[in-house]
Structure 1
């Protein structure tokens, strides 16, 4: 099967995060199974020629043109990409678009509809009801059309399914399929030696929505009980790093904070193995791949209830799930600190770490996710072969 994954952006530091990581993870397993899976995206931040492969996956990358700088990622595009997409879609069995309100994935989805190529959309929690006028206009001009015309629309959580249906209201979609994110199984890390200085890890894009300042603000309470603890702040800066570091300076904890910047995929796993606790106090996180990667090596996690993995982590005992509502001080630091301190207790850490590893291996392996996606692809192709167009209901 020839599968074309279309994502918005790929950068050397993986600053765009989730959708590109998901497309790469899916493509690698699909190619190992014999499919011709490849990705198409804008490339930005590269010195010299754009790479033709990313992690062994053929990549059709095109220089990003910053057409509307005020809209950041949503305002970049490439005419050459869209021309190439139109050509490549004619030979594809499935076009899998990782959709957001932008000038890459939305026009690519519209091209797939125009070409008659079977279209699968995955929104990654990025298409939801909004009061933003530009976003609402985008919905009117194209988003609703592609959602209604797609052969299948994938959602991570029930909340995401309801959000997408709210965008296309009043007529709900009937072609929705739940597909969680998945990661490759890993060996569980060995138990820590007694007396080993604890390490607490934040690994994600450093942006306001992911609340890196809550991570830093929790440091004094943890250091009061574990003065030798190290706090690792990893990931590309997408706007929140200066304020986060300024807070660390005001709190006097810079000496315990390690700023390591963006990490490659294997470095991400290595950082998870070195950590005793992974923390992501994000306001919203549909189904964070970074959380799954931490758990895949046996590291317990601290996440909020607005994270799509919250119910799974709580059920399995794979970490601590805290309230995402902030206190009177406008921060969530005391909840983060309490959860981290709880998980730094050796017995609690060992129990939660094993539960985290089991949870990933039972419910969130990339092989199981890709197998489920393959069934969706085959259903789409079968329905097309029988003359059932995307306007015909085929279950949820």
Structure 2
């Protein structure tokens, strides 16, 4: 039995640019930054792994130390965590500025995202969150944890902030966006550029096409082989 050693190319998910959604209202200057509340948006399933209740704790911690008004909105279907989120809101006394809006139709999510100042996804071990790509695609900067699959790209490009998974770490990231107006402006523009130039469906499709073209000259005889490590007489899987 032999195992074929073939070239492997990693391709990311891509987001569709077909709809040509307008960019963030904050990026376009449609928001009066002096009077408008600074909104952090969570738009995802209210599921335990995504840790929406941690965002309530982090925002409540931030509110104790700043004089500016902020808002936090939770948008998405309940998958077991909505009651915990509402309980945290009551426990922290933040119901006047943290709200649960419920689910949205898929076609309305980008329009909702562009109204936010910053998109926040507190998940741990999130492989490749499409919601983060969608937020960046309309120029909304993001906050993710350091175990998110997109974290290295976001950190390298400056398209948002990457924090550790603790409540304190998330609260510190929220605070930086509130305290540093220039950070939001720069990361917004960078997020838009990153989404469109590295993660759009057009870019990913072109990368896939190049992979196919590069493989057009390969034959089975030209590939390196070695003794298989597959157990027993099963052979290598198809």
TM-score range normalised by the length of the shorter chain: 0.7 to 0.9
Deviation at 1:217, TM superposition (A): 0.7
Secondary structure of 2:9's counterpart equals strand
- Residues 59 and 174 of structure 2 are in contact (CA less than 8 Å); yes or no, is this contact kept in structure 1? no
Q: Which residue of 1 aligns with 2:80?
A: 239
**1: distance between equivalents of 2:184 and 2:49?**
27
Secondary structure of 1:233's counterpart equals strand
1:184 matched to 2:184: no
- Normalised by the length of structure 1, the TM-score is 0.49
1:246–1:371 CA distance, 2 compared to 1 (3 A): same
Q: Which residue of 2 aligns with 1:321?
A: 162
Structure 2 gap ranges (5+)? 226-238
Deviation at 1:196, TM superposition (A): 1.0
Deviation at 1:310, TM superposition (A): 0.8
Q: Which residue of 2 aligns with 1:360?
A: 195
Alignment of 1:301-340 (within 5 A): 301-324=142-165, 332-340=166-174
- Residues 210 and 284 of structure 1 are in contact (CA less than 8 Å); yes or no, is this contact kept in structure 2? no
Give the CA RMSD over aligned residues.
2.7
Q: Aligned pairs, how many?
A: 212
**2: distance between equivalents of 1:303 and 1:180?**
18
**1: distance between equivalents of 2:80 and 2:213?**
41
1:375–1:201 CA distance, 2 compared to 1 (3 A): same
Alignment of 1:1-396 (within 5 A): 174=6, 176-185=8-17, 186-189=21-24, 190-191=28-29, 192-193=31-32, 194-224=34-64, 225=66, 228-324=69-165, 332-344=166-178, 345-376=180-211, 388=220
Secondary structure of 1:313's counterpart equals helix
Q: Which residue of 2 aligns with 1:99?
A: none
1:377–1:299 CA distance, 2 compared to 1 (3 A): same
- Residues 175 and 393 of structure 1 are in contact (CA less than 8 Å); yes or no, is this contact kept in structure 2? no
- Residues 40 and 120 of structure 2 are in contact (CA less than 8 Å); yes or no, is this contact kept in structure 1? yes
Write out per-residue CA displacement over residues 281-324 of structure 1, whole angstroms, 9 at most, x where no aligned residue: 11111121100111111111110111111111111111110123
Write out per-residue CA displacement over residues 232-251 of structure 1, whole angstroms, 9 at most, x where no aligned residue: 11112222222222122111
